[in-house]
Structure 1
Amino acid sequence: MVNLPLTDVEVRILGALLEKEVTTPENYPLSLNALLSACNQTTNRDPVMRLDEDTATHHIIALRRGGLLHQIQPVGSRVTKFQHLLAEELKLDERQLAVLGVLMLRGPQTPGELHARTARLASFADIPDLESVLESLIARQPFPLVARLPRRPGQKEVRYTHLLAGEPTQADAPEMADEPPPRARPHRADVDEDRVAALERTVEALQAEVAAVRAELEAFRAQFQ
């Protein structure tokens, strides 16, 4: 029986192993250095991590004890290497592993994002085809491996997240935007008073201009008297 939930570091280790098994089969299983590099990649990772050897080793031991990771030492080599056991322990096929792996490495995503990002790991005819795999992971027994997240305000597409690390965190829960307090509608009397005051200021300005013009005209006439 798989011991869940996993830590975020354990999820990253398994996700990295799963990815490299498919994308670089010639280097799989991975040495500790190769595994660290895969975990700490700055591309195709969300969030980006900075794991050191001690931290990785601590979580590798936990995964070995939980039956999700196997340690081997190839004949004639002094380098210990690691491989995941997700397919065997969770009874997952290639397409389910691909979807789960991308969710493990890049966090909650829409079906469209998953369809684009799983292309190098498995083949999906289209987005509905990938969604059928998501549904199979949601319906898993005795426990689901994927959950559908509610839409956030203003969001068009549903996102999906893996459940290997437990239920979605508050950061992934739907967020209600803080709405600014409604502006009070001005009272009609206040509006009328403002308009009257503005008109009065305009009239006063015009009267001043007329007075100035009259003064200039009187001065001009005085020159000819």
Structure 2
Amino acid sequence: MTDAPSTPDLPVLDATQARVLGCLIEKEATTPDTYPLTVNAAQVAANQKTAREPVMNISTGNVQHALRQLEGMGLARQHFSSRAERYEHLLGTRLDLPRQQVALLGLLLLRGPQTVGELAARSERLARFADAEDLRHQLDRLQQRDLVILLPRAPGQREERFMHLLGGPVDAEALAASARSNAVAGNTAADNSALEARVAELETQVAQLQQQLEDVLTRLG
């Protein structure tokens, strides 16, 4: 077995750059007739309400700026064959990645940490994998190149999740601790909500009893 190729130095992407790059990867596969994307098409893709986590609202100017920054990083390229500015991604070329690994990174850029099962279900339109084992193998290769990380299983989760590292190093333990804290906070909020509902119910019952007592006293008096 040969070692995975070394990863060239890669600038750290901010949230807008990551979203726009993910959109270029996705639309290359799903809408080839309109790819490369215009700035407006990239903005619409970046602000989709579905298949995005989190949902964002990025201005046209910020999308255009992100595209030019990606071009400067060697991750995108502008086309001059038409009147409108159009851009295509160069992630596979820049990092020497096969299409399958580019597709997985695209999904992680667009939807955040995901399980193998989620990636398998969501990658059908982007790339072909022989089976879940093949997909996991591609993720392992990305891990070897420090492009993705396997996150610890959070409370209530049955499977581990993978996260991309194109936004810089990730403290997996801190993320796990945050997930545990959020789970506790969620349980506390649920407990408080149940208690508040119970108190409200008791208050209603007391008010009804007081009214009934007043009615009895009125009749007796």
Fold similarity call, TM over 0.5: yes
Matched, 1:166 2:173: no
Contact 1:2 1:68 in 2 (8 A): no
Give me the TM-score of the superposition, normalised by structure 1. Answer: 0.73
Residues 191-212 of structure 1 deviation map (CA, whole Å, 9 limit, x = unaligned)? xxxxxxxxxxxxxxxxxxxxxx
SS at 1:173's partner residue? helix
Contact 1:2 1:67 in 2 (8 A): no
SS at 1:92's partner residue? coil
Following superposition, the deviation at residue 168 of structure 1 comes to 3.1
SS at 1:176's partner residue? helix
Q: Distance in 2 between matches of 1:122 and 1:27?
A: 18
Q: Distance in 1 between matches of 2:174 and 2:33?
A: 36
Any unmatched runs of 5+ in structure 2?
A: 1-7, 188-221
Following superposition, the deviation at residue 171 of structure 1 comes to 10
Any unmatched runs of 5+ in structure 1?
A: 181-225
Matched, 1:106 2:111: yes
Matched, 1:147 2:157: no
Query: Relative to 1, partners in 2 of residues 1:171 and 1:80: Cα closer, same or farther, differing over 3 Å?
Result: farther
Query: Relative to 1, partners in 2 of residues 1:52 and 1:148: Cα closer, same or farther, differing over 3 Å?
Result: same
Counterpart position of 1:3 = 10
Please tell me the residue identity of whatever aligns with 1:19.
E
Contact 1:149 1:172 in 2 (8 A): no
Higher mean C-alpha displacement, 109-118 vs 77-86:
77-86
Following superposition, the deviation at residue 167 of structure 1 comes to 2.4
| Structure with the larger helix share | 2
Query: Relative to 1, partners in 2 of residues 1:138 and 1:35: Cα closer, same or farther, differing over 3 Å?
Result: same
**Identity level (%):** 44
Query: Relative to 1, partners in 2 of residues 1:2 and 1:36: Cα closer, same or farther, differing over 3 Å?
Result: farther
Counterpart position of 1:128 = 133
Q: Distance in 2 between matches of 1:168 and 1:127?
A: 25
Residues 68-117 of structure 1 deviation map (CA, whole Å, 9 limit, x = unaligned)? 1111121xx31111111101101111111111111111000010000000
Q: Distance in 1 between matches of 2:33 and 2:173?
A: 38
Counterpart position of 1:35 = 42
Counterpart position of 2:61 = 54
Q: Distance in 2 between matches of 1:94 and 1:164?
A: 17
Matched, 1:89 2:119: no
Q: Distance in 2 between matches of 1:105 and 1:136?
A: 20
Following superposition, the deviation at residue 172 of structure 1 comes to 7.5
Please tell me the residue identity of whatever aligns with 1:162.
H
Query: Relative to 1, partners in 2 of residues 1:146 and 1:31: Cα closer, same or farther, differing over 3 Å?
Result: same
SS at 2:149's partner residue? strand
Following superposition, the deviation at residue 170 of structure 1 comes to 7.8
Q: Which runs of 4+ in 1 moved over 6 A?
A: 169-172
Counterpart position of 2:19 = 12
Query: Relative to 1, partners in 2 of residues 1:17 and 1:128: Cα closer, same or farther, differing over 3 Å?
Result: same
Residues 120-171 of structure 1 deviation map (CA, whole Å, 9 limit, x = unaligned)? 111112222211110000001xxx1100000112322000000000123689
| Higher Cα radius of gyration | 1
Q: Distance in 1 between matches of 2:155 and 2:144?
A: 26
What is the root-mean-square deviation in Å for CA atoms of aligned residues? 2.0
Q: Distance in 2 between matches of 1:122 and 1:10?
A: 22
Query: Relative to 1, partners in 2 of residues 1:93 and 1:172: Cα closer, same or farther, differing over 3 Å?
Result: farther
Query: Relative to 1, partners in 2 of residues 1:136 and 1:170: Cα closer, same or farther, differing over 3 Å?
Result: closer
Contact 1:103 1:162 in 2 (8 A): yes
